[in-house]
Amino acid sequence: LRAHHLDVETVRANWGEPPDLDEVERLVRRGVKCLAVIHNETSTGMTNPLKEIAKVATEHGAWVLVDAVSSIGGITLPCDAWGIDACFGASQKCLAAPPGIAPITVSKRLLDEVDPATVDGWYVNLFTWNRIRKEWGDWHPQPTTISSNIMYAFHRALQLVHEEGLENRIRRHEIVGRAYREGLAGLGYSFFTKPEYASNTVSSAKPPKGVDAPDLIARLKKDHNIFIAGTLGPMRGQGIRIGHLGTQAAKSYLETMLTALAGYSKKAGVTGAEAAVDRAVQLAAKAG
C-alpha cells in the first residue's frame, strides 16, 4: 500500500492476538477509506475474526481488502455476505494447484467507486483485466498470454474442489486442524495463539522443554525427509510451523508428521506420546 503512495496507519496487536475491534472502529470513524487485513496469519497460526472486523469497517463505509492466500478453499470465507470488497488468494495453498495464479474477487461497490484514472499500472490494474474481459471475452479474456499448463492445472484443481464440495473441504481442514492441535498438545507443544483463533490450515507451536526448534526442523529433514518451517518475527527460533492444507489436510500426512515428532518428545521426557498420536489419527480419520 505504501508503494502506491498511500497514507497507512497500522492497527497493532500482540503476536498471536487479533486486532482490537475498538481500535479498528476508532480508525474507520476518522474517515479511513480502506481496511486491509490478513485472514489467516501463518506466522503464529492464527485466523483473524474477519467477519467481525469487516462488519466494523463496512458499517462506517470503509472498503475491506483481504489477504486470503492461506485460507481460500480451506476456511469459511463468504466474501459477499461479509462485505469483502477485494479478496486475494493463491492457487498453491488450500486449492492445491501449482503456484502461479492469484484468484481475486472484487465487489461491484469497489469497481463503481474507484476512478480508473487514479489507478497506477497496466498489467496489475484490475480495470485493464475487466475491460479486456468485456472486449475480448469470447476469444482472449486476458490482456497478455498466460501459461496454459498452469491454467489447466488450476482448472483441474477447482474441479476437484467442486467434486469434494466446498463445505466438505472446509470441514476436512477443520477436523485435521483440530487433530493436529490435539496431537501436538499431547506431545508437549504449546501454541502462540488462543484456541478460538487457531488456524485450521497452519499450526505454529513451541516444542516441549528439551527440544530445540531449529535442531528439530533440521533432524526432521535429515532423518525423515519431512520439511517444515520455523517461526518468524519475535518468535524466530522458538517454534515450528506445520502446513496442513489442500491435499496435505489428511490423516496420512498427520500420522507421518506426529509419529516423527513423538520420538523427539519421548526423548525429552514427555509421557503418553504414542497415545496422543493415536487419538489425533483417530480424529483425523473422520475427515474422510
* Residue-range domain boundaries for the chain: 2-162, 165-287
Residues 48, 171, 279, 243, Cα dihedral to 10°: -50
Amino acid in the structure at residue 266: K
pTM, rounded to two decimals: 0.94
DSSP letters of 191-236? ESS-GGGB-SSEEEEEPPTT--HHHHHHHHHHHH----EE--GGGT
The class level of CATH for 2-162 reads alpha beta
Split at pLDDT 50, 70, 90, the class of 119 is confident
Q: Identify the band that residue 52 occupies on the pLDDT scale cut at 50, 70 and 90.
A: very high
Q: Name the pLDDT band for 121 (thresholds 50, 70, 90).
A: confident
Pick the CATH number of 165-287 from 3.30.420.40, 3.90.1150.10, 3.40.50.300, 3.40.50.2000: 3.90.1150.10
Dig out the grid coordinates for 248 from the structure: 496435505
Summarize pLDDT for 201-248 with one digit per residue, the tens. 999 999 999 999 999 999 999 999 999 999 999 999 999 999 999 999
